[in-house]
Amino acid sequence: MYYTTDENKHGLKHDPFKALAIPRPIGWISTTSKEGKHNLAPYSFFNAISDRPPMVMFCSAGHKDSLRNIEETGEFTCSLSTWDLRNEMNVSSATVPYGVDEFALAGLEPAASGQVRPPRVARSPAAFECKHWKTIELPAPTGKGTPYIMVLGTVVAIYIDDAYVRDGMVDTPAMKPLARLGYMDYSVLTREAVFEMQRPIAQPDGSLKTPSGPWDGVYR
């Protein structure tokens, strides 16, 4: 199969793009309006884009409530969605009128952030507190469709449940983070799915040598 995305004539039941750009982290974005009303919504077009400084981005299809609140207040949080919170995350994805508190809708307790006004999900094992840096409107799609708007934020503080910090490192598989696939499919990260590979080091003679033993903590 081969097709150009301008015409998108793939002949399948649904556009396969999101089934191929996988797995995608889920940005469970919390915002607070100027009036103090909370909003919580998951975004599958989300990722970290830098670690110096730590920055994240998510994309909104049109001007949704999250984007409105961020542009008004300049702040948001991103809580980790996990297997244990999969149903609550799904409930928070419902399209509801502006001003409806998805924390209450999903039966979730908010927890106060330290550096920003929007709360994090109290039961989530990790969360980023973010300051809005820039909003970029992406090119409008050809034909029908809503333009996506990319929100970029600087992570000013990070919360990690101490129960998942072991031997000086975060035990990510123990959190069982969710990932978005295509269609209505999701996946979950488990310990069995994680493996380690160290980067090879270029030698003076042009050969490559891969370090043996456990990782020494150096990014090469």
> What's the rounded mean pLDDT across residues 16-23?
93
Q: Is the pLDDT of residue 214 over 90?
A: no
Supply the pLDDT for residue 143. Answer: 63
Tokens at 196, concatenated: 């380690």
By percentage, how much of the chain surpasses pLDDT 70? 99
Residue 176 binned pLDDT confidence (cut-offs 50, 70, 90): very high
Supply the pLDDT for residue 109. Answer: 98
Query: What distance in Å separates the CA atoms of residue 76 and residue 154, rounded to the nearest whole number?
Result: 10
Tokens at 145, concatenated: 């469709």
Q: Are 113 and 156 in contact (CB under 8 A)?
A: no
202 vs 140: which has the higher pLDDT? 202
**Exposed / middle / buried, residue 123 (Cβ in 10 Å: 0-12, 13-18, 19+):** middle
> What's the rounded mean pLDDT across residues 88-103?
95
Tokens at 103, concatenated: 């924390």
Query: pLDDT tens, 116-175?
Result: 999 999 999 999 999 999 999 999 877 667 889 999 999 999 999 999 999 999 999 999
> What's the rounded mean pLDDT across residues 37-56?
97
Supply the pLDDT for residue 8. Answer: 87
Which residues, in sequence order, are CB contacts of 198 under 8 Å at separation 6+?
Answer: 210, 211, 215
- The domain locations on the chain are 17-209
Q: Is the pLDDT of residue 19 over 80?
A: yes
By percentage, how much of the chain surpasses pLDDT 90? 87
Query: pLDDT tens, 67-76?
Result: 999 999 999 9
C-alpha distances in Å from residue 86, one per residue of 4, 26, 58, 124: 35, 11, 19, 11
The CATH T-level fold of domain 17-209 is Pnp Oxidase; Chain A (2.30.110)
